[in-house]
Chains A and B, each alone.
Chain A
C-alpha cells in the first residue's frame, strides 16, 4: 500500500479553519485518499474520501492536487470537539489488481490536531 506523510501535530483556534496536509507521492491510479479521525478512547470515524476531484461533505472539504501526490483536509470552522488524531490513508476500495488487499486501511501515525478556545 502507498504510504502517507503527515505532520505529527497541529494547533488551531476555535472557529478558524483547520488545514491538515498529507503527502502521498507514491499513490497509484486506482487508489483513493481517505481521511479518518479518532477522538480519544473512541474508534476511528470516517470523514471523507476522494480520487482526484475536490470533495465536500457536511464534515469537511478535501483538496487533492492535480498530480495527486498530496492533499489537504479542511475543517472550515473548527470546534473543541474536533480535537482528535487525523489519519490520511490511501487505499483501493475494491482491493488491488491481484485482489489481495480487499480495501484494508493502513493507518500511519496521523496528525494530532488540538483546537484551542
Chain B
C-alpha cells in the first residue's frame, strides 16, 4: 500500500517568506508526528497529533512554526517569516495509535532558506 507522502520534496524560500509543507499519512493512522532534521544531525521532534488534536507541540522552536491536521488525516506544517536557521529536512511520520513507537516516515521536505 501507499506509504507516507510529503510535498513538496524540495522548497527554496527567501528569508522572510512563509512556507507550507504537506504530509499525507498512511490511511487509518491516528498518530502523526513532525520532525526537523538539520544537516548531519538526527531528526528532532516538533509536534504530535492524535487525529485532529495537537497533543504535544513542545518541540516547535518558535511561534513562527504552526501545524494543523483539521480533519485528522492530512497535516500541514507552516513556517512564517522563514529564517536561515530554518533550513533543514522536515520529516512527517505516522503510526497506529497503539503502536506509536513503530513510525512510518515520509521522504521529507528539504527546505532551504536563502
Contacts and interface: CB of A to CB of B under 8 A. Distances in A.
Interface of A: 32, 34, 41-46, 49, 85, 87, 91, 93-95, 100-110
A20 B45 CA distance: 24
B101 A102 contact: no
Contact of A104 (B48, B106, B107): B48
A46 B43 contact: no
Interface of B: 4, 31, 33, 35, 41-45, 48, 50, 55-56, 58-59, 91, 93, 95, 98-108
Q: Which label, helix, strand, loop or mixed, suits the secondary structure of the A interface?
A: loop
Give 3 closest A-B pairs by Cβ, nearest first: A103-B100, A43-B105, A107-B42
20 contacts: A34-B101, A44-B43, A44-B91, A44-B103, A45-B105, A46-B103, A49-B101, A91-B101, A93-B101, A95-B100, A100-B58, A101-B56, A102-B50, A103-B100, A104-B56, A104-B59, A105-B33, A105-B43, A105-B103, A108-B42
B31 A103 contact: yes
A105 B41 contact: no
A94 B95 CA distance: 12
A42 B107 contact: yes
A93 B45 CA distance: 15
Contact of A46 (B35, B41, B104, B107): B104
Contacts of B106: 43
A109 B42 contact: yes
Contacts of B102: 34, 46, 49, 93
